[in-house]
């Protein structure tokens, strides 16, 4: 049995997941909430984004179960010696992707390369020559790399795409069959309905997104075992593996930092709006002080202080991963502590409005205590603001992490993150020939992640804040040539 390790961020992520599940269950049982979420579920772009986010979330979760593998027992060991565990903390994802993780080259190599990026002195026929050495792992199965490379890559890509397409087709059929069972129609009929977009949930958009993902995953799965699909970085590590590992960092920063803002923002925001007067003044003063400090500087100040603390107490952390994880955890906490002012201000304004409403006045007249009024009557009615701000801020935090890492107050340098990837690619772009794949991988993963987050967030906002719905752009309906909503045609 390996020794399971529960890192701080892991535990919070599990708790967050449980809380989300409970919340979803609650939303399902509450008719109004169910209705509102159904608006989100009808939005094609949001649901496509949700498909992608689901895949990212899966990666992040797989990367959140950590353990230290058991080392093989030494030769002279008896049955009752203590088992020895590796000093390396691995995650399930690390174990699943052990191939690419361990396939470490010497230095840079171009995506799908068989030879190293830079020349090295080698001995050929007793003479020293400067040559591009073959990679240790990338394309190692080819005998004559120059001649076989193209056909091998093409063949494997074809296999990968076919596999991906098969997987996608299965998915279409599965969804159609499941839909058919619940609606009581035939599978073929259901498939036609999906394709013609007559379904309530935008299955076609979701399935098209899933199909694109399946094709990509199939392609990667076919090539990754024998090539570095996105090349290798300066120390020879697989770039695609690092990009996938970065997803968890981004997700942790986004979710934990949002979570950390909530207690401050909710408690202080509602207290200020409900009690008014002195309490309001004090809380307003507090958040004006916090928001008047430029956020990068405030975060930098906190992070520098933490660095001093961690340098002073190195004995607290057993392995390097634990140390890096604590730093990630604290960074998220700092982002929360420094970032609650905006939400608190919104909640204060909303509470100010709510306290004047009849039902709150009635509760007061009945002698309900202040605490219960805030908990039972105010809190549930400001939750939509919390939700909207939380989903909108998530993507911003992912982007912010990259900037903070660049400034030098981000995650531990040992943690894979988009920020550290972008940082290293800064010098790579000035090399000749250009090392572009590190930046490309970070760019592609980050844009897809942030874009999905934003599409999903804007749908959630539109569902929970009806005012926002008026500002969504409408495409001209192809059949009628008119916009679906009233409004003056453009001149």
Partner 1 sequence: MVNYVIRRVGYGVLILIGVNLFTFVLFFTVNTPDDMARMNIGGKRVSQDAIEKWKVERGYNKPLLWNSSAAGTGKLTQTIFYDRSVQLFALDFGPSDSGRDIGYELRERVGPSLALAIPTFLLGLFVVIVFSLLLVFFRNTYLEFWGFTLAVFMMSISALFYILIGQFLFSKVLKLVPISGFAGGADLFVFLALPIMIGIVSRLGGEALFYRTMFLEEIGRDYVRTARSKGLSETVVLFRHVLRNALLPILTSTVAVLPLLFLGALIMESFFGIPGLGSYTIDAINSQDFAIVRSMVFVGSALYIVGLILTDISYTIADPRIRLS
Decide: is 174 part of the binding site for partner 1 (CB under 8 A). Answer: no
Q: Which two tokens stand for residue 311?
A: 């340098």
For partner 1, the closer of residues 78 and 486 by Cβ is 486
Per-position x/- string for 370-399, each x denoting binding to partner 1 as judged by CB under 8 A, each - no binding: -------------------------x---x
What are the beta bridge partners of residue 85? 70
What are the beta bridge partners of residue 130? 121
Decide: is 402 part of the binding site for partner 1 (CB under 8 A). Answer: yes
Decide: is 317 part of the binding site for partner 1 (CB under 8 A). Answer: no
The minimum distance between CB 252 and partner 1, in angstroms, equals 18
Decide: is 208 part of the binding site for partner 1 (CB under 8 A). Answer: no
Among residue numbers 450 through 469, which ones bind partner 1 (CB under 8 A)?
Answer: 450-451, 454-455, 458
The rounded distance, in Å, linking the Cα atoms of 161 and 349 is 53
Selected binder of partner 1 within 56, 219, 227, 418 (CB under 8 A)? 418
Contact 438, 231 (CB under 8 A): yes
The minimum distance between CB 454 and partner 1, in angstroms, equals 6
* Closest among 367, 363, 361, 371 to 270, alpha carbons compared: 371
Beta strands in 119-169 (DSSP E): 120-124, 127-131
The minimum distance between CB 219 and partner 1, in angstroms, equals 23
The rounded distance, in Å, linking the Cα atoms of 291 and 270 is 18
Decide: is 429 part of the binding site for partner 1 (CB under 8 A). Answer: yes
The rounded distance, in Å, linking the Cα atoms of 100 and 159 is 20
The rounded distance, in Å, linking the Cα atoms of 427 and 290 is 35
Selected binder of partner 1 within 439, 441, 459, 463 (CB under 8 A)? 439
Decide: is 427 part of the binding site for partner 1 (CB under 8 A). Answer: no
Three-state DSSP state, 142: coil
Decide: is 475 part of the binding site for partner 1 (CB under 8 A). Answer: yes
Q: Would you put residue 144 in left (φ > 0), alpha (ψ -120 to 50) or beta?
A: beta
The minimum distance between CB 398 and partner 1, in angstroms, equals 9
The minimum distance between CB 62 and partner 1, in angstroms, equals 24
* CA-based radius of gyration for the chain: 27
The minimum distance between CB 109 and partner 1, in angstroms, equals 20
Selected binder of partner 1 within 109, 190, 416, 425 (CB under 8 A)? 425
The minimum distance between CB 247 and partner 1, in angstroms, equals 15
What are the beta bridge partners of residue 232? 109, 238
Sheet strands side by side (includes 90-91): 3-5, 66-68, 90-91
* Closest among 8, 23, 15 to 391, alpha carbons compared: 23
Among residue numbers 257 through 316, which ones bind partner 1 (CB under 8 A)?
Answer: 285-286, 288-289, 291-294, 296-298, 300-302, 304-305, 307-309, 311-312
What is the separation of C-alpha 65 from the centre of its chain, rounded to a whole number of angstroms?
16
The rounded distance, in Å, linking the Cα atoms of 220 and 486 is 47
Q: Which stretch binds partner 1 (CB under 8 A): 14-22, 97-105, 204-212, 438-446?
A: 438-446
Three-state DSSP state, 238: strand
The minimum distance between CB 486 and partner 1, in angstroms, equals 10
Q: Contact residues for partner 1 (CB under 8 A)?
A: 285-286, 288-289, 291-294, 296-298, 300-302, 304-305, 307-309, 311-312, 395, 399, 402-403, 406-409, 418, 422, 425-426, 429-430, 434, 439, 443, 446-447, 450-451, 454-455, 458, 470-471, 473-476, 483, 485, 487-491
């Amino acid at each position: 049995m390996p020794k399971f390790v529960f890192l701080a961020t892991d535990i919070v992520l599990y708790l967050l997941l449980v809380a989300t599940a409970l919340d979803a269950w609650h939303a399902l049982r509450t008719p109004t909430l169910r209705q509102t979420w159904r608006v989100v579920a009808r939005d094609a772009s949001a649901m496509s984004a949700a498909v992608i986010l689901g895949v990212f979330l899966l990666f992040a979760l797989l990367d959140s179960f950590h353990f230290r593998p058991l080392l093989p027992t030494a030769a002279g060991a008896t049955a009752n010696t203590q088992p020895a565990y590796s000093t390396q903390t691995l995650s399930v994802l690390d174990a699943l992707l052990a191939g690419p993780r361990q396939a470490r080259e010497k230095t840079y190599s171009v995506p799908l390369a068989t030879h190293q990026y830079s020349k090295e002195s080698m001995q050929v026929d007793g003479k020293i020559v400067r040559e591009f050495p073959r990679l240790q792992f990338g394309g190692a199965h080819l005998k004559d790399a120059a001649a076989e490379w193209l056909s091998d890559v093409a063949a494997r890509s074809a296999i990968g795409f076919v596999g991906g397409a098969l997987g996608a087709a299965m998915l279409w059929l599965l969804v159609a069959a499941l839909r058919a069972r619940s609606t009581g129609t035939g599978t073929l009929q259901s498939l036609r309905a999906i394709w013609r977009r007559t379904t309530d949930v935008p299955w076609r958009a979701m399935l098209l997104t899933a199909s694109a993902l399946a094709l990509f995953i199939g392609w990667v799965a076919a090539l990754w075992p024998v090539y570095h699909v996105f090349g290798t970085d300066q120390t020879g590590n697989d770039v695609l593996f690092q990009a996938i590992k970065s997803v968890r960092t981004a997700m942790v920063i986004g979710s934990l930092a949002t979570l950390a803002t909530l207690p401050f923002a909710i408690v202080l925001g509602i207290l200020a709006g409900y009690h008014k007067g002195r309490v309001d003044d004090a809380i307003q003063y507090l958040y004006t002080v916090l928001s008047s400090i430029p956020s990068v500087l405030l975060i930098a100040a906190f992070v520098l202080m933490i660095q001093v603390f961690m340098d002073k107490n190195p004995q607290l952390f057993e392995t390097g991963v634990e140390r890096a994880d604590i730093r990630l955890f604290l960074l998220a906490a700092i982002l929360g502590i420094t970032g609650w002012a905006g939400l608190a201000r919104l909640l204060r304004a909303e509470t100010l409005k709510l306290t004047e409403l009849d039902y709150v006045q009635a509760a007061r007249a009945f002698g309900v205590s202040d605490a219960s009024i805030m908990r039972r009557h105010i809190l549930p009615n400001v939750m939509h603001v919390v939700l909207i701000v939380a989903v909108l801020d998530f993507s911003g935090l992912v982007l912010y992490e990259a900037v903070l890492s660049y400034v030098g107050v981000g995650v531990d340098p040992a943690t894979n993150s988009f920020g550290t990837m972008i940082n290293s690619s800064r010098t790579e772009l000035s090399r000749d020939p250009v090392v572009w794949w590190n930046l490309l991988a970070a760019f592609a993963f980050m844009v897809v992640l942030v874009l999905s987050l934003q599409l999903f967030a804007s749908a959630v906002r539109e569902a929970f804040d009806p005012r926002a719905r008026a500002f969504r752009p409408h495409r001209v309906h192809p059949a009628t040539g008119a916009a679906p909503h009233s409004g003056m045609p453009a001149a």
